[in-house]
Amino acid sequence: MGQITLSKVTKKFGEVEVIPPLDLEINDGEFAVFVGPSGCGKSTLLRLIAGLEDVTSGTIAIDGTDATGLVPAKRRLAMVFQSYALYPHMSVRKNIAFPLKMAKFDQAEIDRRVEAAAKVLNLGDYLDRRPGQLSGGQRQRVAIGRAIVREPAAFLFDEPLSNLDAALRVGMRLEISELHNRLATTMIYVTHDQVEAMTMADKIVVLQAGRIEQVGAPLELYERPRNLFVAGFIGSPKMNFITGAEAARLGAHTIGIRPEHISISPSEGAWKGTVGVSEHLGSDTFFHVMGTGLAESMTVRTSGEVSLRHGDTIFLTPQEDKIHRFDADGMRIA
Amino acid sequence: MATKHSRAASRLMISPAVLLLLGWMIVPLSMTIYFSFLNYNLLMPGAHNFIGFDNYKYFLTDPAFTTALINTLVLVGGVLLITTVGGTLLALLLDQPIWGQGIVRVLVIAPFFVMPTVSALVWKNMFMNPVNGLFGWIATSLGLPPFDFLAHAPLFSVIMIVAWQWLPFSTLILLTALQSLDSEQMEAAEMDGAGAISRFVYITVPHLARATTVVILIQTIFLLSVFAEILVTTNGGPGTASTNLTYLVYAQSLLQFDVGGGSAGGIIAVILANIVAIFLMRMIGKNLDA
């Protein structure tokens, strides 16, 4: 079990309100991702749930019981930190066994659980090494191992992949998703990387300045962003925003169109421009189109084999049904 | 320092300093060894003839020697115990965010800047003196007879004075070590269900091991040669109750004017200090490995 309910939670550091009143429901077994730009309060929110920070007002309930005043250890949550926070003077085995030792499990049970965790995480060969002798990915696994042995109600991850290199990050992303499928335990995952959010989450919580901008499944956020911020934050490359006459024609203050929903042609189309920088990824090509008079630069995504050069004239045609419309306050027009 | 050429150059560059340091050490040491084999007393002018190991024999069989050796070890051990335990506790206190933190830290460090003779005299006259001292006043105010610290517990008094001087040093080093403790580690331990005492035992103490080793090693070097505090308070007495090896060497060479015997005592002190150092490195040296 691991249902977490936040109601009217606020957090102030001195006079600065980092989290205005916030309500959020995370269901049992769900993989929830808090995503937002740095300084948006996502880590603070996680630490409030963990109990490492006290809420200024409001309540946090875990499995229906009020946990607002409980110390971290009593909340039955386990956390994986950005720096892994392994204990450098203990072997991997002792690191993983530490929470069990603190909970006064008997030694046979500790050994059994540590062995099981090591097997799940492929750490069998490293159990007697110190954290300092491990690579970044292995340390990450030890930190996860230390979290899973306690069989907590929920796991909290605080940007766990941001210290890993790109290739390892993709691998660990898969492993964590795999782990979630196997354990079926609630996980809350904080990241600033929208790719991680899109690929791993059951539920994405987009945060900005402590406010929840939108909560929903990854594709829901991609297809129906509630406002300009979410529209710009979710999706890579970013959505193109157009204001002015072209937007007014569709009865909106701003319209948005994703790079993958624009088709290109060298000869005819709705908007005319010139090719600026083009980024060839092999599978895809991103064109940055200048001089359309709509926006400073429009990004277009096409398949890999388009041979347009810098300075060539290009015509763009948006898919009308994929255009997102926003009013003057930046909110979506249905 | 990667290439053969740069290694050779570095050796060449560093050699004058090494030679200077070597000479600085070798000349006094060899002169002391030389004197220790002579019958050389300042009260008896004339030929200083070679008498072999007699000086050593006399020094080692002197009844004061065993007392001095034990006193030295008790003094070093006692001060180390007080300063490491007290220093850890003080560092934990000072690590807490408090109002006026800067001033408090300066005040705590202050005793280290008071020179040993001055602080020993202050302790002797203003605290431990049974008539004028603060402790005596407290005792008489409570209707108790004042305790003459320097007469009845001379070694303990010296230990207190020296510990008071060295406590700031260990506090300072342990405080900086505490401040380098990763706060996420503490939070992780908190999440793992470790209470305040468990966190201290399992996280803080191991983290402080290296700093504590440095404190112990550095202090041992200086505590083996405590002298000024003894000279101005007890003069090694009553009898030899607060005489340590350093003071015994001083008494031998400058109170009895026996240069040969003093030199032999000095060499013995050097050998004993090295034995202590070897034991210390065996016991706690592994903490210094990364």
**If you ran DSSP here, which 8-state letter would residue B148 be given?**
-
- A92/A143 Cα distance (integer angstroms): 9
Q: How large a percentage of chain A has pLDDT more than 70?
A: 100
Is the pLDDT confidence value at A306 over 80?
no
Grade residue B1 by pLDDT with cuts at 50, 70 and 90.
low
Q: Does the distance separating the beta carbons of A73 and B185 come in below 8 Å?
A: no
User: Please, what sign has the CA dihedral across residues A118, A119, A122, A125?
Assistant: positive
B200 has a chain A CB within 8 A of its CB = no
- A80/A146 Cα distance (integer angstroms): 8
Nearest to A99 among B184, B192, B290 (CB): B192
Strand ordering across the sheet containing A203-208: A77-80, A154-158, A186-191, A31-35, A203-208, A211-216
- A247/A293 Cα distance (integer angstroms): 13
Q: Does the distance separating the beta carbons of B189 and A98 come in below 8 Å?
A: yes
The alpha-carbon gap from A148 to the nearest alpha carbon of chain B, in Å, equals 11
Distance of CA A223 to the CA centre of its chain: 17
Distance of CA A74 to the CA centre of its chain: 27
Q: Would you identify the CATH topology of the domain A240-326?
A: OB fold (Dihydrolipoamide Acetyltransferase, E2P) (2.40.50)
List the structure tokens of A195: 């790719």
Give percent helix, percent strand, percent coil of chain A, each to the nearest 5: 30, 35, 35
Is the pLDDT confidence value at B202 over 70?
yes
A311 has a chain B CB within 8 A of its CB = no
* Domain positions in chain B: 53-288
Nearest by Cα to B245 from B116, B32, B65: B65
Nearest CA in chain A to B186: A85
The alpha-carbon gap from A292 to the nearest alpha carbon of chain B, in Å, equals 50
List the structure tokens of A281: 């990824």
Q: What is the mean pLDDT of residues B58-65?
A: 88
Is the pLDDT confidence value at B35 over 80?
yes
The per-residue pLDDT for B290 is 55
Cβ neighbours for A27, distance < 8 A, ≥ 6 positions apart: A3, A186, A203
- A317/A265 Cα distance (integer angstroms): 8
pLDDT digits (tens, 9 = 90+) for B17-34: 999 999 999 999 999 999
Chain B contact set for A103 (CB, 8 A) = 193
Q: Which residue has the tokens 């070093």?
A: B76
The alpha-carbon gap from A244 to the nearest alpha carbon of chain B, in Å, equals 49
Strands A77-80 and A154-158: parallel
Nearest to B182 among A77, A85, A146 (CB): A85
Average pLDDT score over chain B:
88
Q: Does the distance separating the beta carbons of A79 and B206 come in below 8 Å?
A: no
Regarding predicted confidence, which is higher, A291 or B272? B272
A49 has a chain B CB within 8 A of its CB = no
**ipTM over cut 0.90:** no
Chain A contact set for B177 (CB, 8 A) = none
B205 has a chain A CB within 8 A of its CB = no
- A241/A239 Cα distance (integer angstroms): 6
Nearest CA in chain A to B208: A89
- B114/B101 Cα distance (integer angstroms): 21
Is the pLDDT confidence value at A167 over 90?
no
> Where is A263: in which H helix or E strand?
strand A262-265
* Domain positions in chain A: 4-232, 240-326
B19 has a chain A CB within 8 A of its CB = no
The per-residue pLDDT for B30 is 92
Strands A203-208 and A31-35: parallel
Nearest to A98 among B182, B192, B209 (CB): B192
Q: What is the mean pLDDT of residues A1-30?
A: 88
b/e sequence B109-148, b meaning 16+ C-beta within 10 Å: eeeeeeebeebbbebbeebbbbeebebbeeeeeeeeebeb
Cβ neighbours for A216, distance < 8 A, ≥ 6 positions apart: A203, A204, A224
Q: Does the distance separating the beta carbons of A150 and B192 come in below 8 Å?
A: yes
Chain A contact set for B196 (CB, 8 A) = none
pLDDT digits (tens, 9 = 90+) for A26-60: 999 999 999 988 888 888 899 999 888 888 888 99
The alpha-carbon gap from B231 to the nearest alpha carbon of chain A, in Å, equals 44
- B99/A325 Cα distance (integer angstroms): 55
User: Please, what sign has the CA dihedral across residues A258, A260, A266, A268?
Assistant: negative
CATH class of B53-288: mainly alpha
- A182/A176 Cα distance (integer angstroms): 10
Distance of CA A85 to the CA centre of its chain: 21
Name residue A212's amino acid. Answer: I
- B172/B211 Cα distance (integer angstroms): 10
Nearest to A85 among B188, B193, B206 (CB): B188
List the structure tokens of A23: 């309500």
Best CATH choice for the domain A4-232 from the list 3.30.470.20, 3.90.1570.10, 3.40.50.1220, 3.40.50.300: 3.40.50.300
List the structure tokens of A80: 């994986």
What residues of chain A, 78 to 117, have a C-beta less than 8 Å from chain B? 78-79, 81-83, 85-87, 89-90, 98-99, 102-103
Q: What is the mean pLDDT of residues B92-119?
A: 87
DSSP string, A192-214: S-HHHHHHH-SEEEEEETTEEEE
A64 has a chain B CB within 8 A of its CB = no
Nearest CA in chain A to B194: A102
Chain A contact set for B207 (CB, 8 A) = 89
Name residue B151's amino acid. Answer: A
- A83/A122 Cα distance (integer angstroms): 20
Q: Does the distance separating the beta carbons of B188 and A77 come in below 8 Å?
A: no
Q: Does the distance separating the beta carbons of A87 and B191 come in below 8 Å?
A: no
Task: Give the pTM.
Answer: 0.79
Nearest CA in chain B to A47: B187
pLDDT digits (tens, 9 = 90+) for A89-144: 899 999 999 999 988 888 999 999 999 888 888 888 888 889 888 888 888 889 98
pLDDT digits (tens, 9 = 90+) for B255-284: 888 888 889 999 999 999 899 888 888 888
Q: ∠ CA(A305), CA(A311), CA(A313), 5° rounding?
A: 75
